[in-house]
Amino acid sequence: MGDPLNLGIIGAGVISGAYVSTLRALDGFRINAVTDLYVDRALGLAERAGDAVAVANTFTELLERDDVDAVLNLTLPADHAAITREALRAGKHVYSEKPLAVSREDAADLVEEARKAGRRLACAPDTVLGTGTQTARKAVDDGLIGTPVAATAFMTSVGHEAWHPNPEFYYQPGGGPLLDMGPYYLSSLVHVLGPVTRVTGAASRPRRERSIANGPRSRTRFPVHVDTHVTGVLEHDGGALTTLVMSFDVRAARLPWIEIYGTTGTLSLPDPNRFDGSPALSRGGSWQLLPYSAGYEPGRRGVGLADLADALHTGRPHLATAELAEHVLDTMLTLLDAAEDGRTLPVTRTTDRPPAVEGIRTAGW
């Protein structure tokens, strides 16, 4: 892969551990600095990241370091845009956790900032690059289910307060089931069926207050500022219609994650919040698990960053594109607008269908 990519990490929350575990297993990265609003969390992340990892007192201090060429943005969703913008203006490449931003204007501005700066901007989720979604995409492209007609996508849970020690941000602007979990599902759907052109939706907020279930803050109550049950119909540019349900209000359900219905068969996809899992194909009889035919294997959180590092070295386009993240964000926000207005609305910030992962790739671990 050439010289390692010198990396700085901002944000030492729960997800940072998964990224560091992946990056430490690769030769293509050198984590040189980390920072967080809470010094103790930054110190803990630096210790997990390896020897001689510096703890920057501020994000500005991290950006001023000559040994940081790229920034991994793991801050809260509401802070993604501001952090990414400053990193791009400082001449750094950026890989951001999803969503890219929480407003259309910020997302479009970030894509333009990256273009002007000549820097790479990539965005999670990278699970879409794993063998689960990519094998399903190849199966559809190979005509195994005929012409796609419709799809369903379901994410139902009781809410993150059931397990997360500090779940409040999931219920603030930039959170909720759609903006939190929707990127996994919508990114997979766009990979398989193409971009979304129009949406219709409805949404509700059954509880205005919730409480933390476990941990030292158990029974702490907090307000809910976003809709927690969202349903919609997405029209893809190829003509397929997706029925979508994203909810933090379901105690139990027996639903598929994503299914694609074609003129000659049905494809049931594995959990889009994971990299692996075999798609199942039925042409009216029994279900057959498809062998992996495309995607990064094995997949781990951070494979999109590994792909970005390889793309920088080889000069090819990276796969976890900011353009896809911008389109997914616009689709989600338009769905919420459609739910509020009670009508069908066009998705205006479109994108080309993202590049596929050709064949089976390995990130090197």
Per DSSP bridges, beta strands 360-361 and 295-296 are: parallel
Q: Does residue 62 contact residue 10 with C-beta atoms inside 8 Å?
A: yes
Q: Comparing C-alpha atoms, which of 40, 83, 41 is closest to residue 62?
A: 83
CA distances in angstroms from 279 to 159, 235, 258, 276, 355, listed in the order given:
27, 23, 10, 9, 20
Question: Which alpha helices (DSSP H) does 194-302 contain, by range?
Answer: none
Task: Indicate which residue of 92, 98, 116, 138 is catalytic.
Answer: 98
Instruction: Tally the C-alpha atoms within 13 A of residue 59's C-alpha that lie toward its C-beta.
Output: 24
77's CB contacts (< 8 A; 6+ apart) are 97, 98, 99, 102, 169, 174, 175, 179, 180
Q: Comparing C-alpha atoms, which of 82, 86, 92, 78 is closest to residue 122?
A: 92
H/E stretch holding 281: strand 280-282
**Phi and psi angles of residue 277, each rounded to the nearest 5 degrees, phi first:** 95, 135
Burial class (CB in 10 A: 0-12, 13-18, 19+), 86: middle
Query: Whole-angstrom distance between the N-terminal and C-terminal Cα of the chain?
Result: 13
79's CB contacts (< 8 A; 6+ apart) are none
Rounded CA separation 8/65 (Å): 9
Bond from prior residue into 167 cis (ω within 30 degrees of 0): no
Rounded CA separation 72/49 (Å): 13
Please indicate whether residue 98 is annotated as part of the active site. yes
Catalytic residue annotation: 98
